[in-house]
C-alpha cells in the first residue's frame, strides 16, 4: 500500500513539476522506486555515468522522458545546470502528461 501511495504521489508531482527529489535514509528503496519511472539512469558516484551525462545532456534536457540522477550530491555542479535547463522550458516533463507547448 505504501508503494502505491508513493508511486501515485510521485506521478502527480511529475505532472506538475519539472523535477522532484527523493530524500530518505540509506537503503530504504529510493533508487529502486525512482528506477520504476524510467530506464534512463545515471549513478553520479560513477565517473563513467557523470561523463555519459555530460555527453548526453543536450538530448536529455530536450526530452520529456524522466531521468533518474542517483547520488546527485556527488556532482554539485549539476544543480545550476538543472536549474538552467528547467528555466529554459517550463512545460510538462512527464511522458504521460500534457503535450509540450511549442
pLDDT digits (tens, 9 = 90+) for 54-69: 999 999 999 889 999 9
Structural domain harbouring 23: 2-88
Q: Is residue 99 part of a domain?
A: no
User: By percentage, how much of the chain surpasses pLDDT 90?
Assistant: 69
**The pLDDT value given to residue 4:** 73
Q: Is residue 94 part of a domain?
A: no
Q: Is residue 74 part of a domain?
A: yes
Q: Is residue 102 part of a domain?
A: no
Q: Is residue 65 part of a domain?
A: yes
Number of domains in the chain: 1
Q: Is residue 95 part of a domain?
A: no
Rounded CA-CA distance 69/53 in Å is: 9
Rounded CA-CA distance 48/5 in Å is: 34
Mean pLDDT to the nearest integer, 10-32:
92
Q: Is residue 77 part of a domain?
A: yes
pLDDT of 81 over the 60 cut: yes
Of 98, 89, 33, 96, residue with least CA distance to 61:
89
Amino acid at each position: 500500500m505504501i508503494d502505491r501511495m508513493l508511486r501515485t504521489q510521485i506521478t502527480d508531482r511529475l505532472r506538475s513539476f519539472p523535477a522532484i527529489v527523493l530524500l530518505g535514509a540509506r537503503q530504504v528503496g529510493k533508487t529502486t522506486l525512482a528506477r520504476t519511472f524510467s530506464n534512463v539512469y545515471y549513478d553520479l558516484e560513477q565517473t563513467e555515468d557523470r561523463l555519459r551525462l555530460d555527453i548526453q545532456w543536450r538530448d536529455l534536457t530536450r526530452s520529456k522522458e524522466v531521468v533518474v540522477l542517483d547520488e546527485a550530491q556527488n556532482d554539485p555542479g549539476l544543480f545550476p545546470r538543472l536549474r538552467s535547463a528547467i528555466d529554459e522550458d517550463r512545460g510538462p516533463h512527464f511522458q504521460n502528461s500534457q503535450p509540450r507547448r511549442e
